[in-house]
Amino acid sequence: MPSRITPVSPSPEPLAAGPSETEAGGLLTLDLAALQENWRRLGQQALPVECAAVVKADGYGCGIEQVGTALVRAGCKTFFVADLSEARRLRPQVQDAAIYVLDGALPGSGPAFAEVNARPVISSLVELAEWDRFIAGSKWHGSAALHVDTGINRLGMSVDEVLALTPRLQKENHGFTLLMSHLACAETPEHPLNQKQIGLFREIRVQFRGVPASLANSSGIFLGDGAHCDLIRPGVALYGVNPTPGKPNPMLPVVGLQARIIQVRPVAKGETVGYGGAWTAKRAARVAIVAVGYADGYPRAASSTDDIAGGEAIVAAKNCPIAGRISMDLMAIDVTDLAEGEARRGEYATLIGGDIGVDDVARFSGTIGYEVLTRLGRRYHRVYRGA
């Protein structure tokens, strides 16, 4: 990691979206300057390779329009989305940047690709034949990526199918602007499948000279030069999730989440809190009820019971445990150890922020940071800072 990072000057007036702060139960803050800095840091890991950005799933829950605008300002020229509807939302924000649609072209979608000026990632010979028919019959000179499966067994053509297309490269307008594959185990650097996939993709890439190639996702960037090829395509790391599990996180935090305290109530020793009576007060307790639940995307799996310690929140600058089952719109936080009056109605409890990151919420919930981010709901008052 380079020792010197160019600071980003924040914009003086943050943008806001969603319901107003007085009408929302939660406040979601998104640091676009940190997002831009993460993109730069990831790019510096693979210089001089181009650094793209994956902004699918509504910019990993952060807002595809705002994320796209910030990354274009940082210098990003290539984006990846999941489907054509995301490409349509993104296009006005990213000017003439390349947009690749990872799910490819559905039957009959060719005219929409032309309208949006997007590029499908082709994953089968049937799909390629449909795409070729559309291109041949239209006046639009669109291009596409070829996706080869090197071992994840998800989307992608077989190695033999892709290699059979190499004679087409002799044509001046062969129509391919990217050759790509996807790593299955990049989060585990020592997994043998990583080197197997890197080696196999290298062999295929040699047959596609002149076509840019892309293999590395967020964690794949940290597997070294062999995975970098011509284009890296980070996703979740842009938004602050650690791409190097088990090591210090090289990314800046992007997302903050606070929940409004709507009541502080006493709970007698021996009484239970929440659905199912799964959490019992072992002493005279106080709980703060906050207006965020699983309908807002906070994982129900972070609930606490008498037998399982769940998630935490920060109230009055102190870490406090969640008490009981998280419900659709509410959760309880045990604030017994705070001084009387430190937890007050109308103030906020921090669910993501401080020493509780997205990865910590994922750990509380037995899931991954990807799921935590992409489930963030639209009921929050959203504040975009820094770009």
Summarize pLDDT for 110-160 with one digit per residue, the tens: 999 999 999 999 999 999 999 999 999 998 989 999 999 999 999 999 999
Phi first, then psi, for residue 266 (nearest 5°) are -80, 150
68-96 confidence digits (pLDDT tens): 999 999 999 999 999 999 999 999 999 99
Helices 64-74 and 32-44: crossing angle in degrees, nearest 10, is 50
pLDDT at residue 189 in the model: 96
Indicate whether 114 and 64 sit together in one domain. yes
Q: Is 322 helix (H, G, I), strand (E, B) or coil?
A: strand
pLDDT at residue 362 in the model: 97
101 in any annotated domain: yes
Q: Evaluate if residue 241 carries a pLDDT over 80.
A: yes
Is residue 265 within a helix (H) or strand (E), and if so which, with residue range? Answer: strand 255-267
Q: Evaluate if residue 4 carries a pLDDT over 90.
A: no
289-303 confidence digits (pLDDT tens): 999 999 999 999 999
pLDDT at residue 369 in the model: 96
Q: Considering only CA atoms, which of 207, 115, 200, 191 is closest in space to residue 156?
A: 200
Query: What range defines the domain where residue 47 resides?
Result: 32-239
pLDDT at residue 173 in the model: 87
Indicate whether 88 and 227 sit together in one domain. yes
| pTM beyond 0.85 | yes
Q: Is 172 helix (H, G, I), strand (E, B) or coil?
A: coil
Q: Which residues are catalytic, by number? A: 56, 275
Residue ending a domain, choose from 214, 239, 264 = 239
Indicate whether 43 and 72 sit together in one domain. yes
Indicate whether 59 and 150 sit together in one domain. yes
Q: Is 381 helix (H, G, I), strand (E, B) or coil?
A: strand
Query: In which band, very low, low, confident or very high, does the pLDDT at 310 lie, cut at 50, 70 and 90?
Result: very high
Indicate whether 204 and 291 sit together in one domain. no
Indicate whether 107 and 218 sit together in one domain. yes
Instruction: Among 133-142, 214-223, 361-370, name the one with the lowest average pLDDT.
Output: 133-142
Is residue 113 within a helix (H) or strand (E), and if so which, with residue range? Answer: helix 110-116
185 in any annotated domain: yes
Is residue 74 within a helix (H) or strand (E), and if so which, with residue range? Answer: helix 64-74
Q: How far apart are CA 235 and CA 175, in angstroms?
A: 26
Query: In which band, very low, low, confident or very high, does the pLDDT at 6 lie, cut at 50, 70 and 90?
Result: very low
4 in any annotated domain: no
Please give the mean pLDDT across all residues of the chain. 94
Residue with tokens 């053509």: 157
15 in any annotated domain: no
Q: Evaluate if residue 5 carries a pLDDT over 60.
A: no
pLDDT at residue 13 in the model: 61
Q: How far apart are CA 56 and CA 352, in angstroms?
A: 22
Indicate whether 270 and 228 sit together in one domain. no
H helices, E strands: number in the chain: 10, 20
278 in any annotated domain: yes
For residues 191-216, b (16+ Cβ closer than 10 Å) or e, as one string?
A: eeebeebbebbeebbeebeebbbbbb
Cα→Cα distances 53→173, 239, 281, Å: 26, 11, 47
pLDDT at residue 2 in the model: 35
Into how many domains does the chain fold? 2
Q: Evaluate if residue 3 carries a pLDDT over 60.
A: no
pLDDT at residue 12 in the model: 46
Domain containing 50 — which CATH number?
Answer: 3.20.20.10
Indicate whether 296 and 350 sit together in one domain. yes
Residue with tokens 């935090």: 253
Q: In residues, how long is the chain? A: 387
